[in-house]
Structure 1
């Protein structure tokens, strides 16, 4: 409501004396418009330390070293136009300390035509100190809440959101302004959304607790409608006679995925032990069967019975092959590991693969780097490569391409954290990438299970990848499947380097590990649909000094790029769900921000298999990548732009 104007009243010197006399204990100063003090109350003596005799006749702004929020000219103009001025100023005590003052000045006319100002003051130093203390505590609390990785949501007893932390903004994909003042049930999917208000009402009425004081796993819903598992802890307090509830939320997506991977690994371990044991016992039976068939065959004359016996022997031989594959999966097949140059092994095996796959499939072999020595059973590895190639051929009935790449990689601790069955260290990586039909998520989960197959009945045993998995694990390595439906599949075999392979590493590369990572301060947008991979990438970039924004898909990333013009580099996965892949995102982003640097990452051996037209000037990084590789690529792109 606007302040009313106060017309200056005329007051005689006697009336001014009376005002000060009646209110002598109050903090009242009367001075001329130009500042000369004419009246000084006892209250002012107590507040400022100057006696009446010392103050009267002095200029107020000089005596009290007044600091105004605006110029004295502006204050006088306001007094003349409105009749009063009020605000906060700073005065100096006689002993030298500052006093924060809330003041109100009223203009009065004197009979001689001159003007004076009646100024009433209140010492608000204690209040200002309390306010600053509260602000400091609020800033401290805010910094803590912004740093704590768990999201925090505060609601009132009606379910209305009162506070929403930065971590909550990142977790739910919305800002505090978008949710504060709205019902917290907007962060939940149904049926919880419709039932939530009833939960609060039931608690307020009966006192029966369901979540308050307990940790509980529930389902949350992001702004884009996606759901995720979360751990919720709720505390309760009373403020101004009303209940408030504070919820701490932890995203369980990554933890549940790791637990699922661990359960899958444990299941495969159990199945492997079972099938290995059965295959071992069944081999003993086949040995008896085939041995007796051979002895019977020697005693039978040529004729129909001998032909029937030969069919039985061939069936027993097929059974022996089947048990061999089961033993491989169960990691019980006899291996003869030797130091092998895997680059040479794969290259020499390419001719056999080319004849096996046929003319409709283009076969490419790439050796990235050198020193591919590993301690492995060469023939068994070739058998594993052949099994993968045959699966790739079946996934490309109309032809396509199969690319095999051999390289040296280092799996660091960050990568090992994402996959419980993986250990960190130096490996030789054999990646086989096809352009076939790809796999669904359900098929990927079961791809290495014995006897699981998507082929027609009679077209396969479902033991190909199972055998590969068992062989790789028995060799101390790791198998990973990367596939996108309709785009193709990459099978990656990690085999630990042998002592000879380590010895081949140059002193320069060993010394490079001691060189600090290249750093930067630019803003980087990370786009990755796998939350675990995205979390690791963001953590690495933060450690390198970069300011990071993250997005879970291309659509969200494009919204961020349109809203901000300070993003220096786009670091995006190539294959992502949601209707926009990485190369499409990069094209759109470059049209909006031509100076934007682009770094692709992919689980495929060649990015061209996932993106047909890689953007000019962009670079790519194959998963898994080390922090050093990422740091180098970033500086190459950013320093060139």
Structure 2
């Protein structure tokens, strides 16, 4: 009990109650020691009467109280050092011994008391040792897993043993000598009364200690309740959320500061009122029903479930809230605690995000609408520009006129490519671009890239090299056109941004993927520029656009195409040293595709009566000319209503219907035509949609309206005729005479008619043929025999390039021979190639023998002089334009035409590329070189 009291005293925060607890414990322990001593003396019997001196008996309790207080003081400490533990044990043991021997001194008996010194000393040692053990046990047991109560019991038992052991050791040390005689004075102990007195004392001490113990516990509990209440109130007052407590009837009990700030009411104004005063209608009227329904059925709509509600402020305004309600069961009372959070800012943010999303969706829709409209509005006039340009190029023109028209055609097709890039980007953003999956030759595609871009690289004096891994498969399955588009963008950019050095293309394969690298020694980029490289309409910086031109769409489209193929694209670049693009594509290995022996010409259709509907007069005129030149008869309608009227009053074999027209558009006109056919039982007439749109939605809309085919603008006559043949459901009947004439030309050396059609005039065609033969015999001659250590890839590339040039020059025999040898190299039939290689030189000799002779210079001195004079003036004018960093398309076309006539076709192409790329310094260098050559020509002509 004393130890329990000391433990409680140690835990209390009040200094007064701590001392009261220690004092009560000391009285309990000291009284216990004193009572134990005299109870032990009652058990001690002497053959003589015994009395006790009253004063000494009362004083004997003092050492016990002092020793007990010190012992409990030590036990109330959280930590006791070893020295204090020893000192405490000595003092407590000495106190117990002092109490015992003082009590023994109070004995009055006729016998004389003497003490055995050894046993006397032993009793003191036992008292000190046992006291130290009791104190050590009290602290040592804290390191065990024993609970607080078992530790108190063990410690109390050891302390009791210390007291008893000292008492009985001391009694063994006492010696009584003499004859029993009655004593005078003192207290004569009666065993019965002494036992009752000691019991009463013990009970009194026990009651006192229990009372003190209860007082300390009550004080401690009250303090803890107050502290907990203070902490809770501080938490409630500082909480950001409003906290409201109500009872089962909805009456408010608590209302914290945040709730005051949130609703505008003070706590004293709402406590005692119903919670529904904080709710707007209709929740206010229904709230009591909610509580009654919950208490009767247990169905919770808010309790235990967070939800958004609307609160009513004091000023009548509404506030959006997040409400969470918890249930508190108290004895005889049911409470509900609500946590409310103001979510006005979140609602504002959500509203702004929704508005931003709507604006973004509207912007995206507007962009799509704009691109669709732009596609139609640009493609429609381009249809007329490209179509009429092609028609004019088929007529008899002089060199200047042909140059101008070529410039118009090239510029319009460049604009068409730009438009296609923009539309590709839009389709990929919407996920509407579909990839083809066909087998194709990656090596042939690589050679095609190198062949098509070599001219641009040569014009800038750059080395363009392609390397293909030796054991790489020949064929893969994928979308060859899109792979070609990726490579064209990357290699084209590499050539554009490289002034000197080289551009390398490398192909390799590993782990089911092909790895393509495009490296250059160009201008390079900074890390910041690399970071924004793949964004649409973005280049490294504004100076790049001014210096090199371009839209910045190429890399963005390449990235989107690569990702659409589940591949990756990355770039390594260093400013001033160049860049390397890495493309990885997971393309499966394919098979050799089955190719037709000869390309099929455009179909020759039977004579048809065709209705054309278009709101653009130029488109009507162009379509009419193309169709009528092909032998068809046409009727023209300027809008949808006109088309319907003409269809009802005439009979047509097919209808070509523009989709976008004022009034009734092509879709509506088609529906009316189909309705007329159903009502009259007329046979269905095929209708082909004419549109500049390439979106899948427009194709679906045309099909739903009843159209049978789809033809894109700008007009491509062969494709249009092929689509007409398809929708008519008949195989196109090729002209037998035409076929008969075409068959032998595939083996002829020179197809003069086709060549003049390609080159415009006989003079231009003959000049191109002579340049081709001169290049093959002087500039880039083929070896007479293939060496043993031949570079087959280089030879195949050379043959591939010559095959394309021969086809462009209408040299079918050479083109076919070059193609056959190229295919044999691909099939690694090198022995056959060696055997047939002599055919190349034989065919070249045959070509040389059939070439028309070049016009004699002496017979054309006058024309050359006039041409040279015109060229001198044109070069000087263009030189001034380039020096002013300006652009004159007509003058550029005239100069390039003069250069081509003089055999400088490469310089003409380089000059055109330099001017188009705004490379005025490079352009002036080319002009100055030919200004000197032109002056020299004038001098030579004058001398002759």
Q: Larger C-alpha radius of gyration, 1 or 2?
A: 2
Q: 1 or 2, which has the higher helix percentage?
A: 2
Q: TM-score range by the shorter chain?
A: 0.3 to 0.5
Give the TM-score normalised by the residue count of structure 1: 0.33
TM-score (norm 2): 0.24
